[in-house]
Amino acid sequence: MALSAAAMGQAAAGQKSAPATIKTLPDKTSAESSASDNGQPENNQTGLVIEPAEMPVTYPHGPYNSGFHARGNYVPVLHWSVEKGKLPPGMILEDNGALRGEAQRAGEFQFVIVVRDGGNPQQAVRKSFVIKVVEALTVVWKVPAHVNANRIEGSVEVSNATVDDVDLTFDVKAVAQDGRATEIGYQHFPLKRGTIGMALPFGENLPYGSYVVYVNVNGEIAKRNAIYKQQMKTPAALLVAVGP
């Protein structure tokens, strides 16, 4: 007996299709976390990340007590070392990430550190850093030494970038062609820590002749046995053509 179109539709609606088979692929794991120079693993964003982002500025013979640490998933214990470049002379990086010492000279020092954890396989992450060692005591011309009638005069600016008061000696001499030196400026006082751009004038009447002006600035921090010296001189001799 032939089924009607309606009956055929009802029969089709009553049939249930077989469920589809779904295959789940296993997760892939990396044998070892690769490392990049920005302090973050390339293949494992939950792994080691080196901090801080940058290092504090220091100055020669200034005590430095900083260091590196890491965040993320890692197996203790971490081991730190310098892989490339050089630390400022006088500083050391300890295995636990502590960076200590006193820089011996001014400059910019670039280096790459690497940290490794205790895993097997081991995570290793690298990061580049720069430590700036600025001059503790600086002196620049404010009004360059010049001749005014029979007088040589001018001024400088001195700055103290340290965290200590500095016992400052400011001495200016005009040296004639025959080697005769005349004092044209002198001060001795404590230059307070953090002082920037203090003006120190100098000047004196001089006899006829040509003179090279030397500016000597010495600073001492006795409690740390630190001495800082800066010197400037005029690029050419100054001629005093008018007698006193």
Number of domains in the chain: 2
Q: What does each C-alpha distance from 138 to 89, 167, 244 come to in angstroms?
A: 21, 14, 34
| pTM, entire model | 0.71
Residue 105, number of CB atoms within 10 A of its CB: 12
- Based on the fold, state whether residues 142 and 222 are members of the same structural domain: yes
Residue range of the domain that includes 208: 137-240
- Based on the fold, state whether residues 236 and 177 are members of the same structural domain: yes
Burial 62-75 (b: 16+ CB within 10 A, else e): bebeeebebebebe
| CATH code, domain carrying 146 | 2.60.40.3880
Assess if residue 82 is contained within a domain: yes
- Based on the fold, state whether residues 128 and 170 are members of the same structural domain: no
Closest Cα partner for 131 from 200, 38, 66? 66
Assess if residue 125 is contained within a domain: yes
Please identify, among 98, 133, 168, the residue that sits at the C-terminal boundary of a domain. Answer: 133
The tens-digit pLDDT sequence of the chain (244 residues) is 444 444 434 444 444 444 433 333 333 333 334 444 555 444 445 578 999 999 999 999 999 999 999 999 999 999 999 999 999 999 999 999 999 999 999 999 999 999 999 999 999 999 999 999 999 999 999 999 999 999 999 999 999 999 999 999 999 999 999 999 999 999 999 999 999 999 999 999 999 999 999 999 999 999 989 999 999 999 999 999 986 5
Residue 31, number of CB atoms within 10 A of its CB: 5
Please identify, among 133, 152, 178, the residue that sits at the C-terminal boundary of a domain. Answer: 133
Please identify, among 84, 112, 133, the residue that sits at the C-terminal boundary of a domain. Answer: 133
